[in-house]
Amino acid sequence: MKKENIKVLISEEEVDRKIREMGEKISREYAGREIHMICVLKGGVFFMTELAKRISVPVSMDFMAVSSYEGTQSTSKVKIIKDLDESVEGKDVLVVEDIVDTGRTLSVLLDMFRQRGASSVKLCTLLDKPDGRVTDIQVDHACFKVPDKFVVGYGLDYNQKYRNLPYIGVIEFEEV
């Protein structure tokens, strides 16, 4: 049997500070415009709601659920489980994600939003894991770069656990 241990990688205070800074930066960038934030469920919800509270320009939100896995293997085929409720046509879209790893799914989604007529499409993530990248995807805004380790907390999970941690942790397993 394996015991799960969580080691703090980024503290709750650091996460809060960085999200506040990101909200201010995005507010300046979108001054005079409205942002249509799209969250990729489930992990991005924690980050998107905290970020939205710190953005001073008008914000609208939508949510999307997708799958790009067959078993435990990531594929380049993206299956839409829950599509957007609203059209993105003519909107400044900010895709908000918990972590960018391989970039496969997000690459497909960003292209899809452009094809659907968004005025602009940018990507904002809480965590960027560039060592895991297999696509050439541009991350416009990243709060933190993280090493190629399994991270949990602040929306990120392991078997649906640990999403509610107020910090980012690295999960380590030990035999018991």
Domain residue ranges of the chain, discontinuous segments joined by +: 12-68+77-145
101 catalytic per annotation: yes
CATH of 12-68+77-145, one of 3.90.1300.10, 3.30.70.260, 3.40.50.2020, 1.10.10.10: 3.40.50.2020
pLDDT of residue 71: 47
Residue-level pLDDT at 173: 84
Closest residue by Cα to residue 127 from 108, 109, 110, 106: 106
pTM: 0.91
- Among 62, 83, 92, 101, the active-site one is 101
Joined tokens for residue 127? 């965590």
Both tokens assigned to 169: 């942790």
Distances (CA, A) of 37 to 50, 130, 158: 12, 23, 25
Q: Residue 74's pLDDT is what?
A: 59
Question: Radius of gyration of the chain from Cα atoms?
Answer: 16
What pLDDT sits at residue 46?
Answer: 95
Phi, psi dihedral angles at 104 (to 5 degrees): -60, -55
Going from the first residue of the chain to its last (176 residues), give the mean pLDDT of each consecutive group of 10, the final group possibly shorter: 90 98 98 97 94 98 83 66 96 96 90 97 96 90 93 92 95 84
Alpha carbons 107 and 119: distance in angstroms, whole number: 17
First vs last C-alpha separation in the chain = 6
